[in-house]
């Protein structure tokens, strides 16, 4: 990944354990991370963190983020309400690659209660390393912001 801006990361209580794991993995890769919480497994509303992280990406579209809740569904729904955010729920490697190649996803969402740590690591690696193909896909994503 060619981006020196810190990767935003956030979760609710159900995604907390996987968030901590992914954060450690990103640090191991020497990638800067900005942790937007939560900081424990105390119950919170996924919408709060999801909207907050998505807004940061909307304010600076060069940034990328990772959100984790129990299924990944709530975080995806929340984040995709924010303009210019393309949040992709990827609990498998094919979706992770395609969300970058075709959708230029700027937010990766995973389900902490759906996938294990090793798969999550691979998903993150593939998602960060896969480039957007542009071309006809550029036209399609531009229509979303109009």
For tokens 């896969």, name the residue: 130
13 part of the active site: no
Chain residues 25-54 in contact with ligand RB5, contact rule CB under 6 A:
46
Q: Is 99 in the site for ligand RB5 (CB under 6 A)?
A: no
Return the residue matching tokens 């691979």: 122
Distance CA 116, CA 18 (A): 8
Tokens (6 digits) for 98: 């395609």
Select the residue interacting with ligand RB5 from 17, 31, 73, 97 (CB under 6 A).
73
Catalytic residue check, 102: yes
From 13, 36, 69, 90, active-site residue: 69
CA–CA dist 118, 62 (Å, integer):
27
Q: Catalytic residue positions?
A: 69, 102
- Residues lying near ligand RB5 in the complex (CB under 6 A) are found at 12, 14, 46, 69-71, 73-74
């Amino acid at each position: 990944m060619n981006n020196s801006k810190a990767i935003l990361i956030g979760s609710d209580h159900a995604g907390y354990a996987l968030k901590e794991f992914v954060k450690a993995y990103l640090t191991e890769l020497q990638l800067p991370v900005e942790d937007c919480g939560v900081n424990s497994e105390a119950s919170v509303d996924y919408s709060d963190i999801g909207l907050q992280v998505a807004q940061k990406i909307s304010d600076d579209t060069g940034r990328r983020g990772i959100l984790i809740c129990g299924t990944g569904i709530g975080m995806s729904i929340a984040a995709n309400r924010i303009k210019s955010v393309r949040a992709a729920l990827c609990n498998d490697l094919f979706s992770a690659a395609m969300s970058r190649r075709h959708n230029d996803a700027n937010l990766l969402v995973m389900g902490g209660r759906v996938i294990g740590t090793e798969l999550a690591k691979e998903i993150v690696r593939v998602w960060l390393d896969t480039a957007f193909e542009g071309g006809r896909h550029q036209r399609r994503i531009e229509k979303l912001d109009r």
